A and B are shown apart, each in its own frame.
Chain A
Amino acid sequence: MPEPNLPVDDLVACHSCDLLHEKTALGEGEKAWCSRCGSLLYRTNNNTIEISLALTIASLLLFLFAQLLPFLSIDVDGNKTTIYLISTIDTLSQLDNVLLGIAGALFLVIIPLGVLLLDLLLLSALYSNKRPLTLFARQLLLLIGRLAPWNMLEIFLLGVLVTIVKLASIAEISLHQGFWAFVALVMINLFVSTTLEPEELWQAIDKH
């Protein structure tokens, strides 16, 4: 039943199978699915720009705490070492394994911090509602989209847990404030990424 004369803006194409659907209005928290392949077509955003901005600022603070406060310490027969997340990069760079140092810096610091800072800039630009932000905001959102798949904080958290279990048999491990800040950061990140819809951000930019 194709409606050939529907305007393009009233249509949506499935990102998995390309089938066209007519857009319908959704209630809060509702999702629209593709009738052919079952993929998610679009959904409504439960988060306002304001809430997302607040969560981003909280995440940035938690990120700083996680990096700069003691993360965890290991005690072997009274020999105690405390590490900071930020110092792991330093340790790696002192070895002759430069590539692993770069990988660590990228995945543990540069990419997550970059995404948070870009989020902060974009959301505060949208929130303050100043013109002209279009070109700038578009570039920011493009960059965020490119970096997103490489943001692996929750995977790193599982890595931390595995490390703790591995070491628990030979040494005493204690967790510090940095670790708990990191856990909170991952929780907030997961919440934001399931509620913040890029499409709605694009539409918010389009409205300016």
Chain B
Amino acid sequence: MAGHRQALTAMQAGLASCHVCGKLQSCTADHCVRCGSRLYQRKPFSVQRSWAFLITALILYLPANLYPIMNTTSLGVKDEKTIIGGVILLWSMKSYPVAVIIFTASIVIPLLKFLVISLLLFSIWKGHSGKLNQQTRLFRIIEYIGPWSMIDVFVVILLVALIQFGGIATVLPGSAAMAFAGMVITTMLSAISFDTRLLWDSE
């Protein structure tokens, strides 16, 4: 533990730490003395922006899961696979580790992100404190694992590029691929807009 505990937050002391470079300074200035970014004590419109991105992500989550992520044509036979269809196929082919990785990255992580961010946003809205330590840690975990959802998009990109043997088989990205990438990006933006300090302000 560093230093001895001060009972004040930076906001209560009339200070602000820059959101971009982290420099602690008086909150009276408009712009950070170190990096010149606009200075705020809390991220501006954090809750609204976080909700907006999260809802966009939720909307994208539907086509991402309902439409095929990959269209394969092999010897004239067309095959369209949704994300979950791909996971089931992998499982039936006894590729258990890969099935688990794709299922976790593509289905579980996005759902966890939706759940955790919306719970935390509700918690801020209601001014509930609850177990703030755990909520903060939960958010940091979600923030870290979020981008790993992109795995399936990268797999599609690689498969499309790899399987190009004329006539024998072709692999094309399905319409879900872009929806899915958009979903991952918007959940990341939602997490970036979220300000964990708002959780602690009600304490």
Contacts and interface: CB of A to CB of B under 8 A. Distances in A.
Same complex origin of A and B: yes
Interface of A: 1-3, 8-9, 11-13, 15-24, 26, 32-33, 35-39, 41-42, 72, 74, 76, 79, 81, 83, 87-88, 91-92, 95, 97, 99-100, 103-104, 107-108, 138, 141-142, 145, 149-150, 152, 155-156, 158-160, 162-163, 165-167, 169, 198-199, 202, 206
A142 to B, nearest CB: 6
Contacts of A19: 5-6, 8-10, 200
Interface stretch (B30-38, B47-55, B56-64, B112-120): B30-38
Interface residues of B, number: 68
B106 to A, nearest CB: 11
Contacts of B199: 17
**Which of B2, B13, B37 counts the most A-chain CB atoms under 10 A from its CB?**
B2
Interface of B: 1-11, 13, 15, 17, 20-26, 34-37, 90, 93, 95, 97-98, 101-102, 132-133, 136-137, 140, 147-148, 150-165, 168, 172-173, 177-178, 181, 188, 192, 196-197, 199-201
A15 to B, nearest CB: 7
**Which of A36, A104, A159 counts the most B-chain CB atoms under 10 A from its CB?**
A159
Given A92-B161, A103-B181, A35 B140 contact: no
Given A37-B136, A38-B137, A165-B95, A155 B147 contact: yes
Contact of A162 (B7, B98, B140): B98
A78 to B, nearest CB: 10
